[in-house]
Amino acid sequence: MDGSETAPNDDYEHPDELEYILESVLMPSDDSEEFKCLADDYNSVLLNHCRCKGACENSEVCPHGGQYEFTGDGSELLLRKSANPVIECNDLCKCCRNTCSNRLVYLGPRKHLEIFDSPVYGSKGLRTTVNIPKGGYICEYAGELLTVTEAKRRLQANEELNLMNYVLVLNEYTSDKKQQVTIVDPSRRGNIGRYLNHSCEPNCHIAAVRIDCPIPKIGIFAAKDIAATEELCFHYGGEGQFKKVTGGKPCLCGASKCTGFMPNTTIDG
């Protein structure tokens, strides 16, 4: 990004030895044309800002609004079920940052999340220490933004070295036609999003969220009401448009509809 956007409020840390980042960043340059195209998108700015003087809550008034709604008591913004893709207001918008109801991922991850040793998966996991309502924002799945070529290279290296794959491939479609591919890898640089494990019956889901850049943030949201101390998980195979690249290893989620294996997908192109 070009630095005009206010940094998200994120004071979490990693228990692992890797660089903690607040939001996704570019992979190191490899001087390829593919990387230059990725960098151009990363450094571009969306100019379709709003001129609202209100709360940006109505899509008929605000070009970005209507994607979030408040809980009944007005304490938290929730993602509407039908909101996809999501475009939030940004620093170029005329609305007031303190009253706008269309800024959520922009503000950083929610509080009261905890990295812990998951007894189900035998690895690190992420859980909440308070209840989370359906539609509540969890955090961004942040890491290095990769080209397709670099993603394939890392996946091959991970397989040969028997390393964990964290690569997430987001395919966005319009009328069944693929429009954009975003690839994120938090194995070297990432945030708490990397600790969410896979489940065949997840309590979280993913949505593409754009703020001021053509490259979307990968937002993780509650797919249902989540109770305090419950581990947070999403389906690594996504919902048709999101794919987490894994090696087809045995699944440990223990869900009643568990397929027995982790999703095994490939990168097109």
Mean pLDDT, 10 residues at a time, over the chain (269 residues)?
60 90 96 97 91 85 87 92 80 89 94 95 95 97 97 91 88 72 95 94 94 94 97 80 59 86 69
Residue 2, pLDDT score = 43
Residue 64, pLDDT score = 86
In the chain the domains, ranked by start, together with CATH numbers, are 33-244 (2.170.270.10)
Residue 16, pLDDT score = 86
Residue 1, pLDDT score = 47
Residue 163, pLDDT score = 85
3-state secondary structure the chain: CCCCCCCCCCCCCCCCCCEECCCCEECCCCCCHHHHHHHHHHCCCCCCCCCCCCCCCCCCCCCCCCCEEECCCCCCEEECCCCCCEECCCCCCCCCCCCCCCCCHHHCCCCCEEEEEECCCCEEEEEECCCECCCCEEEECCCEECCHHHHHHHHHHHHHHCCCCCCEEEEEEECCEEEEEEEEECCCEECHHHHCEECCCCCEEEEEEECCCCCCEEEEEECCCECCCCECEECCCCCCCEEECCCCCECCCCCCCCCCECCCCCCCC
Residue 248, pLDDT score = 65
